[in-house]
Amino acid sequence: MKRCHSQPLKLTAAIAISFVAFSAQANDTLASANNRFHHDTSASYITDTDNSDNAYLFASYHYFDAVSTDLGPWAINTFLAQSSNFGVNYLKSDLAETSSYQVDGTYVFESNWFIGANYQQINDDDDSFAWPYNYDESLYGLKLGYYFNESSQISIFYQNQSGSDSYQHTSGSGQNFQIGLLAANFDNQSDTFGIETQSYIPMESINGVNLFARWQYTDASQYYYYRLAQDVFLPERYFTTDIDNTFNHIFLAADFYINKSWSIGAQYDW
């Protein structure tokens, strides 16, 4: 199961080990007394002082209905807005030897139902796994949900992650022939289904509490094929490896907002 979740795991690790992190966020000019915006853009720079590697993250979203900053804490304004939106994300990380871009959008109906879709393309240059070559992977997902009050939603989702790559030795193509590798193939496929819910509850003693819960089920498979050259001890030979895994994942989180800017949170991940 290494490959199927290598991207999010490596990105999380990169952020965690970064010694210095800088983030900037800019919104449209607030509309006078209404305190509303239509665009949300953020950019982040992460660096590791041990080896001078760095990462750049950029995200930008447009909301078709104005997002009010008066509904609750700043961090969940866009969730409380329940507005149709479209966004793009880009990541370039030397820390994780990964680059990716993503587009996603959500359409909210007048009936409070909403649908969402996303597509992501990942290029992995990390050679620390079983597949030592540059590797491209694509992800797409769909979501269907319902806002059952002004600050709560429940949704079901599906996510597909897949990729494949191959290596073929040709005369003079480089160092891999010296270790006897003539050809190799790699295929990766995973399907994830799940359900999640989120609810913000205003309170009198503090600003409020935001609750989030998600369960998901993943069925993943990987296939490796290697063909090795003949040497003085062994004839030409090949190896194949099939890996199939299924697993459940539960994530629970609660953020207690002291005011619109500050919160204390806890989470459980299993």
Q: Which residues, 6+ apart, have CB-to-CB distance to 210 below 8 Å? A: 73, 76, 198, 199, 200, 201, 254, 255, 257, 263
CA torsion sign for 69, 73, 79, 82 is: negative
pLDDT of residue 177: 45
Output the pTM of the full model: 0.77
| CA dist., res. 183 & res. 178, Å (int) | 13
The CA distances from residue 213 to 61, 239, 267, in Å, are 24, 42, 10
* Per-residue confidence in pLDDT tens, the chain, 270 aa: 334 444 333 333 333 333 333 333 444 443 444 688 999 998 888 887 777 778 888 999 999 998 999 889 999 999 999 999 999 999 888 766 788 999 999 999 999 999 999 999 988 766 555 556 667 889 999 999 999 999 999 999 999 999 888 777 765 544 444 457 778 888 889 999 999 999 999 999 999 999 999 999 999 998 888 888 777 777 888 888 899 999 999 999 999 999 999 999 999 999
257, 206 Cβ separation under 8 angstroms: yes
